[in-house]
Amino acid sequence: MSALFVLVLLVGWVEAYSEFQTTCTTPPSPTNYVSSPNTRGTLDILWSCLFTVIACTWTIQHLNVPEQPGFDPQDVPWHRVLRWNLNGLWRSIKWMLVTIIAPEYILGKAVADLYAAYQSKKEMQRYAIMDGVEWGLTQAFFANMGGFVLTQSPRRYKTPFHLLAHQIYRLRETGALPKLPTITASEINDKSKDDIFVKGITTLQVLWFILQVLVRTVAVTAFGVCGIITYILVLPKPKGVNLSIVLMEFENHIPIEQKAFDWLRYRSLKSFVRGFFMPWASFANFQQINGFHIPNDAWDGSCRGFQRCLNSGITVGSVIFGGIHVAAWNLSFPTPIEKILWRTASIMSTALLPIMYFLFLLDYVLLRYRFKWRLFRYRKYLNIIIGGLYVIARLVLLVEIFRTLFYLPEDAYITTWASNIPHIS
């Protein structure tokens, strides 16, 4: 019975399927200039959308220093080096997928990282002036991404001891570190693999796509807008740094009191999501991972204001991302019910996180003025309901984006003046 039902659906889909073959006449010879076709095909639209999304989500990555290989590439078999390189490739692919699924999280993380770097720049100025070294946003970013390490000989652990900017400050404050590292922003940028040409090409492609949208329709503009904002936020941050700088090296063990590292606590993206939907769970707490490489989905729990900036950035990112989808209010859809679904999902994805943020602020005010009634007792229910609705809304938008690609109006296949701008399609 189920097989018959599927067959009926397939027959209906085949009957509804239509194809238009585009044919263009060849120009007479000789011809000095041939203009671009005044139409574009479904695959042209699909490839330009996919390229724009991939360009935004791949080049936007400013990942932390990866786990150090623990070997000299010239002294080990080639397959170990290949495995380490493949791990780095998988890391980039994984974070590209995360950016596609939740671009607002990447934007919020960029806001929080910039805040943490700015705080480090402020607290380090006294020692930077005293030591006669440079410590700006680039140095702070480099430290917070695991750029400085402590090592010991002989090596007791696979990876060196990675430090955050605030840890370096504490080591300098206690006298364990005699002087801040002497490294300029230019030297750090020289280690960075941020290609200005590639970033420029990507930016032009995104701007071209936005122009296409402005003159006709809405597709993946949300990724482009979030990507450009994130670009601006992470401009001082190095990109593609694979090897750390040894800050100090010790014999046998690191002779520094453990209390100097007590505040090095991280909360990962996984624990953040679990804590959002299940705030009562013990595994949603901060995790102590001293000495390991700094994960890309982690933030230092000791940085005051970091989580506030993260939550604010995610909320603003959701408003931007969802608001652009709301702009497609009157676009054509395959069925009337899908238009209603799109409108509902776009409003929900725009408004749900601001509502949640407002409720958290309201609960903070109630706590500050010592009201007996608190929203916190209902937090787990609010998180599950609002978070679940937000995930459903985003999934509806994601499905409809690809489905409506094959039900575009006629004018969507007509090229505009933006097609004359250099681009990749």
Tell me whether residue 200 is in a domain.
no
- Whether 423 shows a pLDDT value over 90: the answer reads no
10 Å CB burial of residue 187 (0-12, 13-18, 19+) is middle
Between CA 225 and CA 220 the distance in angstroms is 9
Average pLDDT over residues 66-72: 71
Tell me whether residue 96 is in a domain.
no
Enter the pTM of the model. 0.79
CA 101 to chain centre: 9
For 368-392, how does the pLDDT look when each residue is reduced to its tens digit (9 = 90+)? Answer: 777 766 666 677 777 788 888 998 9
Return the structure tokens found at 408: 């575009």
The DSSP H or E segment spanning 5 is helix 2-16
The full DSSP string for 199-223 is HHHHHHHHHHHHHHHHHT--SSHHH
CB of 208 within 8 A of CB of 423?
yes
10 Å CB burial of residue 326 (0-12, 13-18, 19+) is middle
Q: Which residues contact 424 (CB under 8 A, 6 or more apart)?
A: 48, 51, 201, 205
pLDDT value of position 128: 93
For 174-216, how does the pLDDT look when each residue is reduced to its tens digit (9 = 90+)? Answer: 888 889 998 888 888 887 776 666 666 666 656 665 555 544 4
pLDDT value of position 5: 40
For 135-168, how does the pLDDT look when each residue is reduced to its tens digit (9 = 90+)? Answer: 999 999 999 988 888 877 766 656 677 888 888 8
Would you mind telling me the total number of residues written for the chain in this entry? 425
The full DSSP string for 377-415 is GGHHHHHHHHHHHHHHHHHHHHHHHHHGGGS--GGGGB-
Q: How confident is the model at residue 362 (pLDDT cuts 50, 70, 90)?
A: confident
Half-sphere exposure at residue 246, Cβ-oriented, CA atoms within 13 angstroms: 9
Tell me whether residue 333 is in a domain.
yes
Tokens 């937000």 appear where?
Answer: 390
pLDDT value of position 345: 93
Tell me whether residue 332 is in a domain.
yes
**Residues linked to residue 175 through DSSP beta bridges, in sequence order:** none
What are the φ and ψ backbone dihedral angles of 265, each rounded to 5 degrees? -125, 140
10 Å CB burial of residue 88 (0-12, 13-18, 19+) is middle
Tell me whether residue 402 is in a domain.
yes
Per the structure, the complete domain to which residue 359 belongs is given by 328-408
3-state helix, strand, coil in the chain (%, to 5): 60, 5, 35
pLDDT value of position 139: 93
pLDDT value of position 2: 46
Tell me whether residue 369 is in a domain.
yes
Q: In the chain, how many domains are there?
A: 1
Crossing angle of helices 269-277 and 379-403, rounded to 10° = 120
Return the structure tokens found at 293: 């490489």
Percent of the chain past pLDDT 70, that is, above it, reads: 71
pLDDT value of position 302: 65
Tell me whether residue 384 is in a domain.
yes
Q: How confident is the model at residue 310 (pLDDT cuts 50, 70, 90)?
A: confident
